[in-house]
Amino acid sequence: MGLSFPSLTSPSLAKSLKAGDLTIDNIWSRPSPGQPNNAAVFMTIANNGEKWDRLVAVETPMAENAVLHKSAIMSGLLKMYLTKGMYIDPGKTLAMRPDKFHIMLVNLKASMIIGETFPMTLVFEKAGRVQVRVMVKKDTGSKSKTKDREKEGK
């Protein structure tokens, strides 16, 4: 594996990554200030093919364990469950979110620092193993605050 990663921001980070019929985009993680041991990772996975695929596992050197989680509201509380996989149906896009599917890194081995990236391997049932890099960034807070949509010239 004589691969080396460019350590500084690489332009490829912002681009989407293709693996067969899958297009993986916007791969990011929250920083870990409040709860140093766990962190959630999000991304979108679009399936442009004609057959379903399924994310079945993830691996990363950043944490002792990386699991697939699904969240659901039970009696008013947001709870997380282990899920065996995340299906991506043909023509559909799986968008991970804190209150839906996400990847959970358990027992981090290092701090998640905003602006840094770390490697992760996604294991798909059909597309196989896909190497990605996760960008640590601030939560843009789409859910906690109601935003007034204003017209802005971009």
Binding of residue 58 to Cu ion (CB under 5 A): no
- State the number of binding residues for Cu ion (CB under 5 A): 3
CB 67 within 8 A of CB 104: yes
Interacting span for Cu ion (CB under 5 A) from 23-31, 49-57, 63-71, 140-148: 63-71
The residue among 30 and 69 lying less far from Cu ion, judged by its C-beta, is 69
HSE (side-chain half, CA atoms, 13 Å) at 1:
3
DSSP string for 33-54: SS-TTEEEEEEEEEE-SSS-EE
Contacts of Cu ion in 104-133 (CB under 5 A): 104
Q: Which residues pair with 22 in a beta bridge?
A: 19, 47
How far is the C-alpha of 27 from the C-alpha of 19, rounded, in Å?
A: 14
The residue among 51 and 143 lying less far from Cu ion, judged by its C-beta, is 143
Sign of CA dihedral 5, 69, 23, 114: negative
Interacting span for Cu ion (CB under 5 A) from 17-25, 43-51, 79-87, 112-120: 79-87
Residue 28 C-beta: closest distance to Cu ion, Å:
15
The residue among 42 and 124 lying less far from Cu ion, judged by its C-beta, is 42
Residue 38 C-beta: closest distance to Cu ion, Å:
7
Report CA-CA distances (Å) from 112 to 29, 67, 115.
8, 17, 9
Binding of residue 30 to Cu ion (CB under 5 A): no
Residue 121 C-beta: closest distance to Cu ion, Å:
19
Name the site residues for Cu ion (rule: CB under 5 A).
Answer: 69, 80, 104
